[in-house]
């Protein structure tokens, strides 16, 4: 049964040995700042470990205190916090604890490589899931019953998974927005000097080298040229000349390595940028089309609909409607105390 992330208040972080401190603190800091701006302890969190004793992060830093699951009190969600060498630390005790939490009806999540514990425990079967890009390729091969996605974070019913780095910050901002609306999120972002909040449809940046391996230097160079020239796209001839290849060679490399054409790959890059501008800026659709290298709004709209299943106008309306709904649900636009 689907659960509402807007209802989440009491959050547990199950830390595994060598967990990534950045992922943990990014998530906690959003809740801390939300409480500060709300002037109340709305969000509460606990650091957990399997045996209730603090464990060390990959940086060597160790939380001052931790507790076990039985002593933590009521929790709405528990995030497994993984990191370096996560496969070494997911054992029978971790499996048993996570399955107990699932039986207790607690929403489960994973930060960084923490999703690995959920996957290996069989708790992600039939779910959409994301994990840090370094671990994704291998897990896709091994666990076909899980739908691995390249998004920064994925919320699928009672499972919430998130890639590493500072992506947990974006996830927690989405959870805060679901409860309190855009205004509070904007204030938190200002406090963190964060100029753009990413959402669940944003993909984590997976280096092309990680996708294709180190033996495709020519392909990497062409892809980098594309990324650097989105507003004024380069022609196939220009890409070939600047990349030191022929047009035919580029076409063959893209087909054999990525299973697509250079044109389609380039178009997707431009549309990904367009989506970020649609959802995170006040630029008009015409301005966005120009900024992403489209000669006409009609061509832009058709291409966007083909990739995302909806027009740019509908995309923008969805964002505005979600913001209006959140504001109405919580008594207007101002959702925190001055």
Residue 250's CATH number: 1.10.10.60
Q: Per the domain annotation, does 171 fall within a domain?
A: yes
Strand order in the sheet with 153-156: 44-48, 10-15, 77-81, 107-111, 159-162, 153-156
| Shared domain check, 237 and 151 | no
Q: Per the domain annotation, does 14 fall within a domain?
A: yes
| Shared domain check, 165 and 48 | yes
- Kindly compute the dihedral angle of the four CA atoms of residues 209, 211, 213, 217, in this order, to the nearest 10 degrees: -50
| Shared domain check, 181 and 296 | no
Smallest Cα–Cα separation from 236: which of 256, 265, 209? 265
| Shared domain check, 171 and 312 | no
User: What is the per-residue pLDDT across 94-108, written as a single tens digit (0 to 9) for each?
Assistant: 999 999 999 999 999
pTM: 0.67
Q: Per the domain annotation, does 42 fall within a domain?
A: yes
Range of the domain at 233: 208-320
Q: Is the dihedral of CA 230, 236, 242, 248 positive or negative?
A: positive
| Shared domain check, 155 and 10 | yes
| Shared domain check, 214 and 291 | yes
Q: Per the domain annotation, does 174 fall within a domain?
A: yes
Q: Per the domain annotation, does 280 fall within a domain?
A: yes
Where residue 10 falls among pLDDT bands split at 50, 70, 90? very high
- Contact criterion met (CB below 8 Å) for 280 and 196: yes
As a whole number of angstroms, the distance between CA 112 and CA 129 comes to 12
- Kindly compute the dihedral angle of the four CA atoms of residues 39, 45, 46, 49, in this order, to the nearest 10 degrees: -150
- What does 247-280 look like in DSSP terms, one character per residue? HHHHHHHHHHHHSS-HHHHHHHHHHHHHHHHHHH
Where residue 314 falls among pLDDT bands split at 50, 70, 90? very high
**Total structural domains in the chain?**
2
As a whole number of angstroms, the distance between CA 127 and CA 51 comes to 28
User: What is the per-residue pLDDT across 104-134, written as a single tens digit (0 to 9) for each?
Assistant: 999 999 999 999 999 999 999 999 999 987 7
């Amino acid at each position: 049964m689907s659960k509402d992330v807007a209802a989440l208040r009491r959050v547990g972080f199950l830390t595994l040995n060598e967990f990534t401190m950045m992922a943990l603190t990014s998530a906690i800091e959003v809740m801390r700042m939300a409480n500060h701006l709300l002037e109340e302890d709305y969000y509460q969190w606990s650091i957990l470990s399997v045996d209730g004793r603090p464990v060390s992060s990959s940086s060597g830093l160790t939380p001052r205190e931790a507790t076990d699951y039985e002593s933590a009190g009521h929790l709405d969600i528990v995030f497994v916090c993984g990191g370096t060498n996560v496969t070494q630390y997911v054992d029978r005790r971790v499996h048993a604890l996570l399955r107990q939490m699932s039986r207790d009806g607690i929403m489960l999540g994973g930060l960084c490589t923490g999703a690995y514990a959920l996957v290996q425990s069989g708790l992600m079967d039939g779910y959409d899931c994301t994990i840090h890009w370094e671990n994704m390729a291998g897990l896709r091969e091994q666990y076909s019953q899980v739908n691995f996605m390249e998004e920064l974070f994925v919320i699928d019913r009672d499972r919430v998974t998130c890639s590493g780095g500072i992506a947990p910050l974006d996830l927690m901002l989405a959870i805060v927005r679901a409860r309190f609306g855009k205004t509070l999120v904007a204030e938190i972002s200002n406090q963190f000097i964060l100029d753009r909040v990413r959402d669940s449809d944003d993909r984590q940046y997976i280096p092309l080298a990680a996708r294709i391996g180190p033996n495709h230097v020519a392909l990497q160079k062409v892809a980098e040229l594309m990324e650097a020239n989105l507003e004024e796209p380069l022609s196939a001839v220009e890409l070939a000349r600047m990349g030191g290849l022929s047009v035919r060679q580029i076409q063959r490399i893209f087909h054999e390595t990525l299973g697509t054409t250079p044109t389609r790959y380039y178009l997707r890059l431009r549309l990904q940028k367009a989506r970020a501008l649609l959802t995170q800026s006040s630029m008009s659709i015409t301005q966005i089309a120009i900024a992403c290298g489209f000669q006409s709004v009609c061509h832009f709209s058709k291409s966007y609909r083909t990739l995302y299943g909806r027009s740019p106008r509908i995309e923008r309306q969805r964002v505005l409607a979600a913001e209006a709904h959140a504001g109405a649900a919580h008594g207007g636009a101002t959702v925190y105390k001055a």
